[in-house]
Structure 1
Amino acid sequence: MRSIPAALMSLPFIAGAAFAGEAEVRAAQGTIEAQIGAFRGGDNAAAYGHAAPSIKRIFPTLESFMGMVTGAYQPVYRPRSFAFGKAQEAGSAIAQQVMIVGPDGRDYEALYTLELQPDGRYRITGVSLKASNALSM
Protein backbone atom coordinates (compact mmCIF):
# COMPACT_ATOMS: atom_id res chain seq x y z
CA MET A 1 0.00 0.00 0.00
CA ARG A 2 2.98 2.33 -0.28
CA SER A 3 2.68 3.14 -3.98
CA ILE A 4 1.49 6.50 -5.26
CA PRO A 5 0.37 6.88 -8.86
CA ALA A 6 2.89 8.92 -10.83
CA ALA A 7 0.21 11.22 -12.21
CA LEU A 8 -0.69 12.32 -8.70
CA MET A 9 2.91 12.81 -7.61
CA SER A 10 3.62 15.20 -10.48
CA LEU A 11 0.81 17.59 -9.55
CA PRO A 12 0.94 20.13 -6.72
CA PHE A 13 -1.55 19.66 -3.91
CA ILE A 14 -4.42 22.08 -3.62
CA ALA A 15 -5.91 23.20 -0.36
CA GLY A 16 -9.32 21.84 0.50
CA ALA A 17 -11.94 20.62 -1.88
CA ALA A 18 -12.68 23.89 -3.64
CA PHE A 19 -10.64 23.08 -6.76
CA ALA A 20 -10.86 19.31 -6.70
CA GLY A 21 -14.41 18.12 -7.15
CA GLU A 22 -15.89 18.74 -3.71
CA ALA A 23 -18.27 15.78 -3.87
CA GLU A 24 -15.50 13.47 -5.05
CA VAL A 25 -13.12 14.54 -2.29
CA ARG A 26 -15.87 14.13 0.32
CA ALA A 27 -16.61 10.64 -1.02
CA ALA A 28 -12.92 9.70 -0.87
CA GLN A 29 -12.68 11.08 2.67
CA GLY A 30 -15.75 9.01 3.59
CA THR A 31 -13.94 5.87 2.44
CA ILE A 32 -10.91 6.72 4.57
CA GLU A 33 -13.11 7.49 7.60
CA ALA A 34 -15.00 4.24 7.12
CA GLN A 35 -11.81 2.19 6.95
CA ILE A 36 -10.30 3.83 10.03
CA GLY A 37 -13.63 3.39 11.83
CA ALA A 38 -13.66 -0.29 10.91
CA PHE A 39 -10.10 -0.72 12.22
CA ARG A 40 -11.03 1.07 15.45
CA GLY A 41 -14.13 -1.08 15.83
CA GLY A 42 -12.24 -4.34 15.24
CA ASP A 43 -14.09 -5.05 11.98
CA ASN A 44 -11.06 -5.97 9.90
CA ALA A 45 -13.20 -7.53 7.16
CA ALA A 46 -15.02 -4.22 6.65
CA ALA A 47 -11.67 -2.39 6.60
CA TYR A 48 -10.40 -4.80 3.94
CA GLY A 49 -13.56 -4.06 1.94
CA HIS A 50 -12.36 -0.48 1.41
CA ALA A 51 -9.21 -1.65 -0.37
CA ALA A 52 -9.16 -1.42 -4.16
CA PRO A 53 -8.93 -4.56 -6.29
CA SER A 54 -5.26 -3.77 -7.00
CA ILE A 55 -4.50 -4.02 -3.27
CA LYS A 56 -6.55 -7.19 -2.94
CA ARG A 57 -4.45 -8.77 -5.70
CA ILE A 58 -1.30 -8.02 -3.67
CA PHE A 59 -2.92 -9.11 -0.39
CA PRO A 60 -5.46 -11.72 -1.50
CA THR A 61 -6.59 -12.73 2.00
CA LEU A 62 -7.79 -10.79 5.01
CA GLU A 63 -4.95 -12.32 7.00
CA SER A 64 -2.25 -11.13 4.59
CA PHE A 65 -3.82 -7.66 4.44
CA MET A 66 -4.01 -7.37 8.22
CA GLY A 67 -0.45 -8.63 8.58
CA MET A 68 0.70 -5.78 6.37
CA VAL A 69 -1.47 -3.20 8.18
CA THR A 70 -0.54 -4.22 11.72
CA GLY A 71 3.12 -4.63 10.80
CA ALA A 72 3.75 -1.37 8.97
CA TYR A 73 0.77 0.92 9.53
CA GLN A 74 0.04 1.06 13.28
CA PRO A 75 -0.77 4.81 13.14
CA VAL A 76 -3.45 4.08 10.52
CA TYR A 77 -4.64 0.94 12.29
CA ARG A 78 -4.97 2.51 15.76
CA PRO A 79 -4.88 6.31 15.46
CA ARG A 80 -5.59 8.43 18.52
CA SER A 81 -6.94 11.06 16.16
CA PHE A 82 -6.77 12.13 12.53
CA ALA A 83 -7.66 15.11 10.37
CA PHE A 84 -7.81 15.65 6.64
CA GLY A 85 -5.34 17.95 4.95
CA LYS A 86 -4.91 18.83 1.31
CA ALA A 87 -6.50 16.89 -1.55
CA GLN A 88 -5.61 16.48 -5.20
CA GLU A 89 -7.84 15.07 -7.90
CA ALA A 90 -6.50 13.66 -11.16
CA GLY A 91 -9.18 12.10 -13.33
CA SER A 92 -10.76 9.25 -11.40
CA ALA A 93 -8.03 9.25 -8.74
CA ILE A 94 -7.71 11.30 -5.57
CA ALA A 95 -4.74 11.81 -3.28
CA GLN A 96 -5.73 12.81 0.25
CA GLN A 97 -3.34 13.98 2.95
CA VAL A 98 -4.27 12.78 6.45
CA MET A 99 -2.58 14.05 9.59
CA ILE A 100 -2.56 11.33 12.26
CA VAL A 101 -1.66 11.12 15.93
CA GLY A 102 -0.55 7.52 16.27
CA PRO A 103 -1.05 5.14 19.18
CA ASP A 104 2.43 6.15 20.37
CA GLY A 105 1.38 9.82 20.60
CA ARG A 106 3.64 10.81 17.70
CA ASP A 107 2.50 12.75 14.64
CA TYR A 108 2.36 11.11 11.23
CA GLU A 109 1.40 12.18 7.76
CA ALA A 110 -0.37 9.67 5.56
CA LEU A 111 -0.95 10.17 1.86
CA TYR A 112 -3.88 8.03 0.75
CA THR A 113 -4.53 7.40 -2.90
CA LEU A 114 -7.99 6.32 -3.96
CA GLU A 115 -9.56 5.44 -7.27
CA LEU A 116 -13.16 5.55 -8.38
CA GLN A 117 -14.41 2.01 -9.02
CA PRO A 118 -17.02 0.89 -11.56
CA ASP A 119 -19.57 0.61 -8.73
CA GLY A 120 -19.23 4.38 -8.14
CA ARG A 121 -17.29 4.08 -4.88
CA TYR A 122 -13.79 5.22 -4.07
CA ARG A 123 -11.45 2.47 -2.89
CA ILE A 124 -8.00 2.85 -1.37
CA THR A 125 -5.15 2.07 -3.77
CA GLY A 126 -2.27 2.99 -1.48
CA VAL A 127 -1.08 4.69 1.67
CA SER A 128 2.30 6.31 2.15
CA LEU A 129 3.10 6.93 5.81
CA LYS A 130 5.85 9.02 7.33
CA ALA A 131 6.63 10.64 10.65
CA SER A 132 5.50 14.26 10.60
CA ASN A 133 7.37 17.36 11.70
CA ALA A 134 4.08 18.91 12.86
CA LEU A 135 3.42 19.35 16.55
CA SER A 136 0.26 17.99 18.20
CA MET A 137 -1.65 20.41 20.37
Structure 2
Amino acid sequence: MRAIVLLLAFLVSIALPARAADDIAAAQSVIRSQEQAFSHDDAAAAYSYAAPEIQQMFRQPDIFMYMVQNNYAPVYRHKSFEFGEARAADGQIAQRVHIIDADGEAWEALYTLEEQPDGSLKITGCSLLKAGQAV
Protein backbone atom coordinates (compact mmCIF):
# COMPACT_ATOMS: atom_id res chain seq x y z
CA MET A 1 0.00 0.00 0.00
CA ARG A 2 2.81 2.40 0.86
CA ALA A 3 4.37 1.73 -2.55
CA ILE A 4 1.12 2.70 -4.26
CA VAL A 5 0.93 5.97 -2.30
CA LEU A 6 4.54 6.77 -3.17
CA LEU A 7 3.93 5.93 -6.82
CA LEU A 8 0.86 8.18 -6.93
CA ALA A 9 2.77 11.02 -5.27
CA PHE A 10 5.57 10.59 -7.79
CA LEU A 11 3.15 10.59 -10.73
CA VAL A 12 1.43 13.74 -9.46
CA SER A 13 4.79 15.48 -9.02
CA ILE A 14 5.64 14.64 -12.65
CA ALA A 15 2.21 15.64 -13.98
CA LEU A 16 2.15 19.12 -12.40
CA PRO A 17 5.30 20.41 -14.14
CA ALA A 18 4.12 18.77 -17.39
CA ARG A 19 0.77 20.57 -17.08
CA ALA A 20 2.56 23.89 -16.47
CA ALA A 21 4.77 23.28 -19.52
CA ASP A 22 1.69 22.53 -21.62
CA ASP A 23 0.00 25.72 -20.34
CA ILE A 24 3.10 27.78 -21.17
CA ALA A 25 3.32 26.28 -24.66
CA ALA A 26 -0.36 27.07 -25.22
CA ALA A 27 0.16 30.64 -23.96
CA GLN A 28 3.11 31.13 -26.27
CA SER A 29 0.99 29.89 -29.17
CA VAL A 30 -1.71 32.46 -28.35
CA ILE A 31 0.83 35.28 -28.05
CA ARG A 32 2.56 34.24 -31.28
CA SER A 33 -0.79 34.07 -33.09
CA GLN A 34 -1.69 37.57 -31.97
CA GLU A 35 1.77 38.81 -32.94
CA GLN A 36 1.30 37.33 -36.41
CA ALA A 37 -2.14 38.93 -36.70
CA PHE A 38 -0.57 42.32 -35.89
CA SER A 39 2.08 41.77 -38.57
CA HIS A 40 -0.68 41.14 -41.13
CA ASP A 41 -2.81 44.07 -39.90
CA ASP A 42 -5.58 41.56 -39.15
CA ALA A 43 -7.46 43.46 -36.44
CA ALA A 44 -10.22 40.85 -36.08
CA ALA A 45 -7.76 38.01 -35.50
CA ALA A 46 -5.60 40.05 -33.10
CA TYR A 47 -8.71 41.08 -31.15
CA SER A 48 -9.89 37.47 -30.90
CA TYR A 49 -6.91 36.63 -28.63
CA ALA A 50 -7.79 39.37 -26.13
CA ALA A 51 -9.69 38.43 -22.97
CA PRO A 52 -13.32 39.54 -22.62
CA GLU A 53 -12.27 42.31 -20.18
CA ILE A 54 -9.98 43.79 -22.83
CA GLN A 55 -12.66 43.45 -25.49
CA GLN A 56 -15.08 45.33 -23.23
CA MET A 57 -12.64 48.24 -22.99
CA PHE A 58 -12.06 48.28 -26.76
CA ARG A 59 -15.46 47.43 -28.21
CA GLN A 60 -14.34 46.86 -31.82
CA PRO A 61 -11.28 45.23 -33.42
CA ASP A 62 -10.30 48.47 -35.19
CA ILE A 63 -10.34 50.41 -31.92
CA PHE A 64 -8.19 47.70 -30.31
CA MET A 65 -5.74 47.79 -33.24
CA TYR A 66 -5.51 51.60 -33.06
CA MET A 67 -4.66 51.37 -29.34
CA VAL A 68 -1.92 48.78 -30.02
CA GLN A 69 -0.43 50.81 -32.88
CA ASN A 70 -0.26 53.94 -30.75
CA ASN A 71 0.61 52.54 -27.31
CA TYR A 72 2.43 49.30 -28.05
CA ALA A 73 4.44 50.07 -31.20
CA PRO A 74 7.20 47.55 -30.34
CA VAL A 75 4.57 44.80 -30.06
CA TYR A 76 2.87 45.94 -33.26
CA ARG A 77 6.05 46.20 -35.40
CA HIS A 78 9.44 44.80 -34.48
CA LYS A 79 12.61 43.17 -35.74
CA SER A 80 12.60 40.34 -33.20
CA PHE A 81 10.15 38.83 -30.75
CA GLU A 82 11.54 36.08 -28.48
CA PHE A 83 9.99 34.32 -25.52
CA GLY A 84 11.74 34.54 -22.17
CA GLU A 85 10.85 33.29 -18.72
CA ALA A 86 7.30 32.09 -18.04
CA ARG A 87 5.30 31.03 -15.00
CA ALA A 88 2.00 29.18 -14.81
CA ALA A 89 -0.26 28.66 -11.80
CA ASP A 90 -3.98 28.22 -11.25
CA GLY A 91 -5.00 28.86 -14.86
CA GLN A 92 -2.94 32.05 -15.13
CA ILE A 93 0.27 32.47 -17.10
CA ALA A 94 2.86 35.25 -17.09
CA GLN A 95 5.16 35.24 -20.12
CA ARG A 96 8.11 37.56 -20.72
CA VAL A 97 8.93 38.50 -24.30
CA HIS A 98 12.17 40.12 -25.43
CA ILE A 99 11.50 42.54 -28.29
CA ILE A 100 13.74 44.54 -30.58
CA ASP A 101 11.60 47.27 -32.10
CA ALA A 102 11.68 48.55 -35.67
CA ASP A 103 14.36 51.11 -34.66
CA GLY A 104 16.61 48.53 -32.97
CA GLU A 105 15.65 49.44 -29.39
CA ALA A 106 15.31 46.62 -26.84
CA TRP A 107 12.06 46.16 -24.89
CA GLU A 108 10.65 43.71 -22.35
CA ALA A 109 7.00 42.80 -22.51
CA LEU A 110 5.15 40.91 -19.79
CA TYR A 111 2.06 39.19 -21.12
CA THR A 112 -0.55 37.81 -18.77
CA LEU A 113 -3.04 35.20 -19.90
CA GLU A 114 -5.92 33.48 -18.18
CA GLU A 115 -7.82 30.30 -18.85
CA GLN A 116 -11.39 31.05 -19.90
CA PRO A 117 -14.50 29.06 -18.93
CA ASP A 118 -14.36 27.28 -22.31
CA GLY A 119 -10.77 26.15 -21.58
CA SER A 120 -9.12 28.56 -24.05
CA LEU A 121 -6.39 30.98 -23.05
CA LYS A 122 -6.84 34.70 -23.65
CA ILE A 123 -4.46 37.61 -23.17
CA THR A 124 -5.46 39.71 -20.15
CA GLY A 125 -2.67 42.27 -20.38
CA CYS A 126 0.67 43.32 -21.75
CA SER A 127 3.07 45.57 -19.86
CA LEU A 128 5.84 47.09 -21.94
CA LEU A 129 9.08 48.48 -20.57
CA LYS A 130 12.21 49.66 -22.37
CA ALA A 131 14.95 47.16 -21.57
CA GLY A 132 17.20 48.29 -18.74
CA GLN A 133 14.60 50.55 -17.12
CA ALA A 134 13.61 49.91 -13.52
CA VAL A 135 10.04 48.93 -12.81
TM-score category of the 2 structures, normalised to the smaller one:
0.7 to 0.9
Counterpart contact for 1:20–1:88, Cα < 8 Å: no
1:34-66 Cα distance to aligned partner (Å, 9 max, x none): 000111122121011100001001111112211
User: Structure 1 residues 115, 91: closer, same or farther in 2, change over 3 A?
Assistant: same
Q: Does structure 1 residue 114 correspond to structure 2 residue 109?
A: no
Counterpart contact for 1:102–1:108, Cα < 8 Å: yes
- Partner of residue 10, structure 2: none
Cα offset, 1:133, TM superposition: 2.5
Counterparts of 2:124 and 2:78 in 1: how far apart (Å)? 20
Query: Which ranges of structure 2 fall in alignment gaps of 5 or more residues?
Result: 1-16
> What CA RMSD, in Å, does the superposition of the two structures yield over aligned residues?
1.7
Query: Which ranges of structure 1 fall in alignment gaps of 5 or more residues?
Result: 1-17
Q: Which has more radius of gyration?
A: 2
Report % sequence identity.
Answer: 47
- Partner of residue 104, structure 2: 105
RCO (CA 8 Å, sep 6+): is it higher in 1 or 2? 1
User: Structure 1 residues 89, 20: closer, same or farther in 2, change over 3 A?
Assistant: farther
SS at match of 2:54: helix
Q: Deviation above 3 Å: which 4+ runs of structure 1?
A: none
Cα offset, 1:108, TM superposition: 0.3
Q: Does structure 1 residue 131 correspond to structure 2 residue 130?
A: yes
- Partner of residue 36, structure 2: 37
